[in-house]
Amino acid sequence: MKHEKGGQLGWTEAFMAQGLGVNATLERIDGLVKWRRFEKLLARVRPGEAGRPPYAALAMFKALLLQQWYGLSDPGLEEALNDRLSFRWFCRFALDQSTPDETTICRFRQALIGAGLHNRLPAELNRQLDARGMLLRQGTMIDATLVAAQAAPPPLSAGAGAKSSVDRDADWTKQNGRAHFGYKAHLAMDQGSRLIRGVILTPAKIYKSDVADRLIAGDERAVYADRAYEHKERRRRLRTRGIKDRIMHRSHKNQASLPHWQKRRNALIAPVRASIEHLFGVMKRSYGYRRVRYFSLERNALQLELLCVALNLRRAAVLAT
């Protein structure tokens, strides 16, 4: 392997036919971002001291974004980087250079975790998108969705709450009376722009409300959420911070039904809040995020963060047109 020179392609590109390997979407995305700022963050990534010199961290990071957009496994990404000119161009791999194999891709992903960049890559992208006026802050929609574990669920004979021997972080919960084994993805979405502002992955058993306050940025005009997020102290904190409380009401003990005004309020909030359900649908239908890829919370949390960066870049490319 070689150290790659960011932004520099090989001499063979001079002989290519004009338009060969062009991908308009990737070109738009590439022009949206100040990649050098990511390069500074990624400077702390240490893929390991043994072996040949590593590929540039920025090139590897962009390759992981391609993996999210195109739903590729590590072997699939290795093959695509060898085969697709647009992928090489996006990552700045010249035609006369080697590209990373699946083992290198896997090691780099693990090195990202070791670098302690938790949530810093999505935050850097959002700072850049905010500077372009794309974050509107009219409101934040928060919600969570269940994602199946990569590991098979423990057998029923193992007893309630049994753990997987290969993924000790995955856990059980129930939804609509059905048992679910895996994780829960908690997201915060900017109203209007539909950009993702916050992301947290937890074992499935963690209640949505338990992590809600970590998804509230504090600079939005309102917070929208379903009944599961109702909490008196949360409502009080929102009022204190001057943020409009748009959390739906739920019935409490000894309460036969909601008062008419609360029912009416819920009916007004529901269609606004529901836009985040569309985001979950896109993640699952278009990006295959019905099941996590790995066998630990930290690896799957990184995958979710990379997916959110990829989603925001695709969304920003649309907003910029």
Mark whether 220 and 268 lie in a shared domain. Answer: yes
Structure confidence by residue, pLDDT tens digits, 182-222: 999 999 999 999 999 999 999 999 999 999 999 999 999 99
Which of 193, 224, 207, 194 minimizes the C-alpha distance to 144? Answer: 207
**Residue 91 to residue 61: CA distance in whole angstroms:** 8
Q: Which pLDDT score, from 0 to 100, does residue 4 have?
A: 40
The two three-digit tokens of residue 117, written as one number: 């960049």
Q: What is the DSSP letter of 231?
A: -
Mark whether 257 and 151 lie in a shared domain. Answer: yes
Query: CATH number, domain at 203?
Result: 3.30.420
Residue at 208 is within a domain: yes
Checking if the pLDDT of 11 tops 60, the result is no
Which of 127, 111, 113, 133 minimizes the C-alpha distance to 50? Answer: 111
Q: Where are the alpha helices (DSSP H) in the chain?
A: 24-32, 35-42, 57-70, 74-83, 85-91, 102-114, 120-131, 232-240, 260-273, 275-285, 297-319
Structure confidence by residue, pLDDT tens digits, 223-261: 999 999 999 999 999 999 999 999 999 987 777 789 999
- Of 87, 117, 147, the residue at which a domain comes to its end is 117
- Of 84, 117, 150, the residue at which a domain comes to its end is 117
In DSSP notation, 260-292 reads HHHHHHHHHHHHHHTHHHHHHHHHHHTS-TTB-
Structure confidence by residue, pLDDT tens digits, 47-93: 655 545 578 999 999 999 999 999 999 999 999 999 999 999 999 99
The b/e string for 125-152 (b: 16+ C-beta within 10 A; e otherwise) is bbebbbeeebbebebbbbbbbbbbbbbe
Mark whether 61 and 90 lie in a shared domain. Answer: yes
Structure confidence by residue, pLDDT tens digits, 91-149: 999 888 899 999 999 999 999 999 988 889 999 999 999 999 999 999 999 999 999 99
Mark whether 166 and 254 lie in a shared domain. Answer: yes
Q: Which pLDDT score, from 0 to 100, does residue 44 have?
A: 87
Mark whether 167 and 287 lie in a shared domain. Answer: yes
Q: Average model confidence (pLDDT) for the chain?
A: 90
Q: How far is CA 273 from CA 5, 203, 269, 276, 285, in A?
A: 45, 24, 6, 6, 20
Mark whether 156 and 269 lie in a shared domain. Answer: yes
Residue at 316 is within a domain: no
**Residue 200 to residue 147: CA distance in whole angstroms:** 13
**Stretch among 164-178, 201-215, 302-316 having the lowest mean pLDDT:** 164-178
Residue at 255 is within a domain: yes
Mark whether 104 and 231 lie in a shared domain. Answer: no
What does the radius of gyration of the chain's CA atoms come to, in whole angstroms? 22
Mark whether 170 and 278 lie in a shared domain. Answer: yes
Mark whether 214 and 242 lie in a shared domain. Answer: yes
Q: Which pLDDT score, from 0 to 100, does residue 3 have?
A: 36
Report the DSSP beta bridge partners of residue 190.
140
Residue at 41 is within a domain: yes
Mark whether 176 and 288 lie in a shared domain. Answer: yes
Please state the length of the chain. 321
Q: State which residues form the domain around 43.
A: 11-117
